[in-house]
Amino acid sequence: MSDETRDTNGTVLADGDNVTVIKDLKVKGTSSTIKRGTLVKGIRLTGNPDEIECRVDKIKGLVLRTEFLKKA
């Protein structure tokens, strides 16, 4: 078992990569939704290989699961 962070296609992700959302995601605690196809720039890896930290629109410190992302 490796500690590499991978997207839904198995591509290894690194700090600063750009990813695309593959499914509409509701953001807990807000009324906003991240639409499918949204480009997320400059991701940051967390200690958990299943999650990345990012910033979308005006939402800072958002944590997304890698199963809903693909490398852009």
- pLDDT tens, position by position, 16-59: 999 999 999 999 988 999 999 999 999 999 999 999 999 998 88
CA distances for 6 relative to 12, 15, 18, 33, 45, angstroms: 4, 12, 13, 23, 10
Please, are residues 25 and 66 in contact by the beta-carbon 8 Å criterion?
no
What pLDDT, on the 0 to 100 scale, is given for residue 3? 82
Where does 19-71 sit in CATH, by number?
Answer: 2.30.30.40
Task: Kindly report the pTM of this predicted structure.
Answer: 0.89
What pLDDT shows up at residue 2?
65
Task: Say whether pLDDT at 65 is over 80.
Answer: yes
Q: Where are the domains of the chain?
A: 19-71
